[in-house]
C-alpha cells in the first residue's frame, strides 16, 4: 500500500506518516522496485492507534510506551493503567487551572458593569488614573 493510500485510510497527511517513521512509531516500510514506500496492512491500524491515543491526550512519548505495552500481552494492563492514571491526574490539574482562569475572567467581566473607578481590573484602573501620584 502506498503512502497516500495509508494516509487517506488513516485520515492523516503523508508527512504525518514520515514523522511517525522518524519517531520510531511506525516501522520504515519496504520500498517497491520503483522506489515507492510499500506499507503493509497493519500500517493503517497502527496510525489509527496513534491518533486515537493522541485524542485521549497521550503524547507521542506516551504512545510509544503504549505501543510497547500493546505488544506485551495481559501483563501490560498494569503499565497501561499507570499511564492512564497519570494522564487523568494531568488532565485534572489542567482542568483545575482552566477553571481558575475562568473564574478570574468571570470576576473581571462582572466588574465591567461597575463605574470605572470601582472596577477590579488593575490595567483599567491604571489607564483610567490621571497619572498623579507618580
29 occurs within a structural domain: yes
Domain contains 96: no
pTM score of the predicted model: 0.72
The domain that holds 14 is classified in CATH as 1.10.1660.10
Q: How far apart are CA 54 and CA 31, in angstroms?
A: 28
Instruction: Let me know: does 29 contact 40? Beta carbons within 8 Å.
Output: yes
Q: Is residue 128 part of a domain?
A: no
pLDDT class of 62 with cuts at 50, 70, 90: very high
Structural domain includes residue 8: yes
In the prediction, which pLDDT does 11 show? 95
What domain range includes position 18? 1-54
Q: How far apart are CA 95 and CA 101, in angstroms?
A: 10
In a domain, 86, yes or no: no
Q: How far is CA 97 from the centre of its chain?
A: 17
Note the pLDDT tens digit of each residue in 79-89. 899 999 999 99
Residue 23 lies in a domain: yes
Share of the chain above pLDDT 70, in %: 86
Q: Which three cell numbers stand for residue 76?
A: 501490560
Amino acid at each position: 500500500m502506498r503512502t497516500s493510500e495509508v494516509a487517506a485510510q488513516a485520515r492523516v497527511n503523508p508527512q504525518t506518516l514520515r514523522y511517525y517513521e522518524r519517531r520510531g512509531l511506525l516501522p520504515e516500510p519496504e520500498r517497491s522496485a520503483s522506489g515507492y514506500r510499500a506499507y503493509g496492512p497493519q500500517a493503517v491500524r497502527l496510525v489509527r492507534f496513534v491518533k486515537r491515543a493522541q485524542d485521549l491526550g497521550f503524547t507521542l512519548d506516551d504512545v510509544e510506551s503504549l505501543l510497547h505495552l500493546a505488544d506485551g500481552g495481559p501483563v501490560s494492563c498494569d503499565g497501561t493503567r499507570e499511564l492512564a492514571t497519570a494522564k487523568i491526574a494531568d488532565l485534572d490539574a489542567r482542568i483545575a487551572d482552566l477553571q481558575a482562569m475562568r473564574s478570574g475572567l468571570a470576576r473581571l467581566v462582572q466588574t465591567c458593569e461597575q463605574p470605572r473607578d470601582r472596577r477590579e481590573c488593575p490595567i483599567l484602573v491604571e489607564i483610567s488614573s490621571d497619572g498623579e501620584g507618580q
